[in-house]
């Protein structure tokens, strides 16, 4: 099969409006395949999906629809507002709000059938009181702390629940969950320690479905799966475990248009602070994507060095100089001149330069890059259900 160059691919797609300067392609088939893979890996445990922060920047509504078609029934978001958006596209979903219960906000949850992940006795009491007032046993999760020390009932509060089971009698406890701090590092001793703590604490509580694993936890093995797993990043093509091959399919590709091409003679510099010095005649293309679009400023090469590689068709092109708010500059000296022109497309993230490659280089994680993809990047959803 003929491999299309980036140009041919982009130009074949007439759905890109002429005013689009940068394009994010989101492959919903790959997303669904990634969910299926996790679902298969977790056997009888239910596979939910974490779609907080606008589904890690990829579009909550579209991601939710595609995963629902694939069979996903339970979703986790961070905020009430995300939960309400989700409810609009998915009337039947089970939706948990990881923020827990915001004070005084219970009716915002019940009105949209959202389940808080209650993370303190104060939240539990407030939810229980609300349920008593309305005389309905609304569902909620409780989130217990097993060592992350971020959200969740501390052991002392779990013990209060054990001593006073009536605290749980006015609502329906639909899930007991905890979160792993180091699941991206499989050999980290905290994984087993948190799992043991989860076993110990949940054994004292009334029986309820249990959930411990995020993406990293899923791939720690069946001991971590319990009744429900909560993957996020792997669904979107990021890796679960640091420094391991990534078996997930690429979901996100980012390309930007060339705005200008020019020759820079030796001795001159490129970009802010003149960090990149030209040592031989160089053809430079300026492309329409910067840190306001989500191409992290930390991806600028260290002074004097080029940054990451992009691609024009099959040709690698290095990012040079600082990443600025709206623009990056690439060295296109090695690309046949007829392929670098005003309006040509440069792929800056995809199968060849992956999310993981870029974020390793920037000293951050895929979660940050994805969730900061700019609103002004034109989005194209590809694949079934798009
Ligand atoms: C974000 C989050 C997840 C998903 O984490 P990934 O590493 O993206 O799989 C699961 N559980 C909780 C509590 C989270 O905050």
pLDDT at 91 over 60: yes
Determine which residue's CA is closest to atom 15 belonging to ligand 1: 98
Model pLDDT, residue 304: 85
Q: Quick: pLDDT tens for 175-229.
A: 999 999 999 999 999 999 999 999 999 999 999 999 999 999 999 999 999 999 9
φ/ψ (deg, to 5) at 313: 55, -130
pTM for the model: 0.94
pLDDT at 362: 94
Centre of ligand 1 to C-alpha 148, Å, is 12
Is the per-residue pLDDT at 2 higher than 70? no
Q: Is 52 a catalytic residue?
A: yes
Q: Is 243 a catalytic residue?
A: no
Helix (H, G, I), strand (E, B) or coil at 378: strand
> What per-residue confidence (pLDDT) applies to 301?
86
Which H or E run includes 193?
helix 189-204
Q: Where on the phi/psi map is residue 134: left (φ > 0), alpha (ψ -120 to 50), or beta?
A: alpha
Look at residue 1 and tell me whether its pLDDT is greater than 50.
no
pLDDT at position 15 is 77
Residue found by looking up tokens 């046949």 in the block: 336
- Which pLDDT belongs to residue 384? 75
Ligand 1 pocket, Cβ-based, cut-off 6 angstroms: 50, 52, 98, 179, 214-216, 230-233
Please write the tens of the pLDDT for every residue from 29-83.
999 999 999 999 999 999 999 999 999 999 999 999 999 999 999 999 999 999 9
Domains of the chain as residue ranges with CATH: 6-24+251-382 (2.40.37.10), 42-236 (3.20.20.10)
CA 14, 16, 17, 18 dihedral sign is negative
What pLDDT digit, counting tens, does each position of 136-179 carry?
999 999 999 999 999 999 999 999 999 999 999 999 999 999 99
Is pLDDT at 368 greater than 80 in this prediction? yes
- Rounded to the nearest whole angstrom, what is the distance from the C-alpha of residue 89 to the centroid of ligand 1? 22
CA nearest neighbour of 102 among 83, 86, 74: 83
Task: Report the atom number in ligand 1 closest to the C-alpha of 240.
Answer: 7
Tell me how far CA of residue 23 lies from CA of 5, 20, 284, 384, in angstroms. 16, 7, 21, 19
pLDDT digits (tens, 9 = 90+) for 227-245: 999 999 999 999 999 989 9
């Amino acid at each position: 099969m003929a491999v299309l160059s980036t140009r041919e691919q982009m130009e074949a797609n007439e759905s890109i409006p002429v005013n689009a300067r940068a394009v994010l392609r989101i492959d919903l088939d790959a997303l669904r395949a990634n969910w299926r893979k996790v679902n298969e890996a977790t056997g009888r445990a239910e596979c939910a999906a974490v779609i907080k922060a606008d589904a890690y920047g990829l579009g909550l509504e579209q991601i939710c629809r595609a995963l629902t078609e694939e069979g996903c029934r339970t979703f986790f978001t961070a905020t009430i507002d995300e939960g309400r958006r989700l409810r609009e596209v998915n009337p039947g979903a089970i939706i948990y709000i990881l923020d827990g219960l915001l004070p005084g906000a219970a009716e915002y949850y019940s009105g949209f059938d959202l389940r808080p992940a209650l993370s303190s006795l104060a939240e539990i009491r407030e939810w229980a009181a609300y349920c008593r007032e309305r005389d309905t046993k609304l569902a909620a999760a409780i989130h217990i702390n097993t060592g992350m020390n971020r959200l969740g009932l501390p052991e002392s509060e779990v013990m209060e629940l054990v001593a006073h089971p009536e605290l749980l009698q006015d609502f329906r406890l639909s899930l007991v969950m905890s979160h792993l701090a180091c699941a991206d590092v499989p050999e980290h001793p905290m994984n087993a320690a948190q799992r043991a703590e989860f076993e110990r604490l949940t054994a004292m509580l009334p029986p309820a479905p249990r959930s411990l694993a995020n993406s990293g936890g899923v791939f720690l093995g069946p001991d971590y799966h319990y009744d429900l797993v909560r993957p996020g990043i792997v669904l979107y093509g990021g890796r679960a475990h640091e420094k391991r091959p990534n078996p997930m399919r690429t979901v996100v590709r980012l390309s930007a248009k060339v705005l200008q091409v020019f020759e820079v003679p030796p001795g001159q510099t490129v970009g802010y602070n003149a960090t990149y010095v030209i040592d031989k005649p160089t053809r430079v293309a300026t492309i329409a994507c910067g840190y306001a679009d989500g191409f992290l400023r930390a991806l600028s090469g260290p002074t004097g060095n080029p940054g990451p590689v992009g691609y024009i068709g099959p040709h690698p092109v290095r990012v040079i100089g600082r990443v600025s708010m709206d623009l990056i500059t690439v060295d296109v000296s090695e690309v046949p001149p007829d392929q670098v022109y005003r309006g040509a497309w440069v792929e800056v993230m995809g199968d060849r330069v992956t999310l993981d490659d870029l974020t390793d280089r920037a000293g951050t994680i895929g979660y940050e890059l994805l969730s900061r993809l700019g609103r002004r990047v034109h989005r194209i959803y590809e694949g079934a259900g798009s």
